[in-house]
Structures are given as structure tokens and as C-alpha cells.
Amino acid sequence: MQPSMDESIAGLPTSHLLGSVPAVVTDEKKTTSYNATGANLQLFPPNNGSAGGQGYQTIESPSEGTEQQSTNKWKGVFSISSYVQYFNVDTDIVLNRLMSSLYPISGDFFSKIGANPDLYGLVWITTTLVFVIASFGNCATYLMDRRSDGSASWSFDVGYVNMAACSVYGYAVVVPLGFYFLLQYLGSNASLVQFWCMWGYSLFIFVPTSVLLVIPVEFLRWIIIIITGAASASFVSLNLRSYIGVNDHTMVLVAAFVLQMGLALFFKLWFFA
């Protein structure tokens, strides 16, 4: 049987035909690798608005970004511009918070300030209290001296101002700071600015009380200062209890109450003795 023409053509060798390309068979595949050691990746588009001129933005490594964020955080702590937002409050808001501080049993001060605590009340109340207790303390001393001995000489004691400034400013700053770190250590989520705000407004009740302590009747003075101290201490401890929301920190609440009561007794014994 004669083979067909298609089979004959298919059996011809093709290596000598015009236009044929012999196949190249290799035993192993060659791969090309590119090493980009120390490559400086960049973002597009270029950062044309940077202070250093035009150019591409370099992508920072994670460690560099974390270090930069930590540095910026500490710079913000010591920057005055970081605290400007806490002084941007209306008069109505301040008055409402002042009235809340005179009702210690409510315990809802933190819910009223919400996410908008202010440091204006802290600065204004403490500064006013310094001059009030220093001036009225001198006035009370004068009245008591005149009552005991009408011929005795009397002079204004400037040391009252120094002692008032150290005690009031120191208490308003250090005590909330101490409770903040204590609650952080105990696992509670505390806000330092909210603590400063609450403790600042808790001192407002001592401003009108200082006027009443001028009365030259010792027994009445003690009644006034005990009631005032108990009201201020209750305001701090009850609001702190509602803020913490747990019953495991009873000693923290007792410590806050005792410190606030101790401040009231210090005012009485030092400035209105």
C-alpha cells in the first residue's frame, strides 16, 4: 500500500527547511533576581508643598514613624497651643458647672462635662481662691485681734498670699495628678484633664465660704468650715465613684474624701485661726 501524500510530507525532516528555527532545550531554568538593599521607597505625587522644596515623599519605616509620633506627643504636652481648646468655653457652660459643684450629692459632673472638659474653671477658681482666702484671712485676723484687744496694733500679713498660692495651686495640680496615676496603675481608664476640671470646680465652694469665715465667732466658723469641707469632699468622692464605676476602689474614694476635708481644715487653721 502506497503511503499517502500527507503522511510523506509529515515525515520529512524540518531542520533544513527555509525559515525553520531549531528548538533549544535547556535542563534548568535561569531566573533573574534583583536585590534592592536599602531601597528608598517614595510616594507619588511629589510633596511640592514641603519646606525643603519639591521632591518625592519618602516612606518612613515603622520604627521611625513610632518614634516620630512619640516625640510629637511629648512636644504636645509642653506646648501651650495644645491646651487652648480647654479654655474655649462659654460663660453659660462655666456657670452651669459652678452650680453643679454646689450640689455635691448629684454625682453627675463627669456626664455633664462629657468630652468637653475645661481648664478655665481650674485656673479662674484657684486664682480667685488664693486672693480671697489671703485677703479675708487677714481681715478675720484683724477682727479677732480687735475683739480681744482693741488697742493692739495690726498689719497686713503678706505671707498669707504666698501660703495660699502654694497650697491652692499645689493641691489643684498635684492631687488630681496623683489620682490619675493611681487609677492608671489599678487598671482604670482615667482622664487627667477631666480630673483637673472636676477638682478645680470642687474648690469653688470655698470662695463664698471665705466671706462667711470673717465672722468673729469661733464656734460658728467651725460649723461653716466643716459643712463646706464635707460638701466639697462629697462632691469629689461621689463623682469619682460614678466615674470609676466599680466597687473595688473604696479606699481611693475614702482617700479623696479625706484629702478634700483636710484641705478645708487647713484653710481654717492657717488663715482663719
Residue 90: the pLDDT is 84
Residue 75 confidence (pLDDT):
57
CB burial readout 29-54, b (16+ within 10 A) else e: eeeeeeeeeeeeeeeeeebeeeeeee
What residues contact residue 140 under an 8 Å CB cut-off, 6+ apart? 213, 214, 216, 271, 272
Rounded CA separation 191/202 (Å): 17
- Whether omega for the bond prior to residue 45 falls within 30 degrees of 0, making it cis, is yes
What pLDDT was estimated at residue 16? Answer: 52
pLDDT, mean of each 10-residue run, the chain (273 residues): 52 53 51 49 46 48 52 58 75 90 86 86 94 91 75 76 94 94 86 92 94 90 95 94 79 94 94 86
Query: Which residues touch 252 (CB under 8 Å, ≥6 apart)?
Result: 179, 182, 183, 186, 240, 244
pLDDT at 180: 92
Which amino acid makes up residue 217? V
Phi-psi region of 32 (alpha: psi -120 to 50; beta: other; left: phi over 0): beta
The conformational region for residue 149 under phi > 0 = left, psi -120 to 50 = alpha, else beta, is beta
Quote the pTM value.
Answer: 0.69
| 209, 137 contact by CB (below 8 A) | no
C-alpha cell, 264: 478645708
**What confidence score (pLDDT) does residue 66 get?**
52
Residue 219, pLDDT score: 92
pLDDT at 27: 52
Alpha carbon of 42 to those of 30, 39, 61, 229: distances in Å?
Answer: 31, 9, 12, 63
Q: The C-alpha cell of 6 is what? A: 500527507
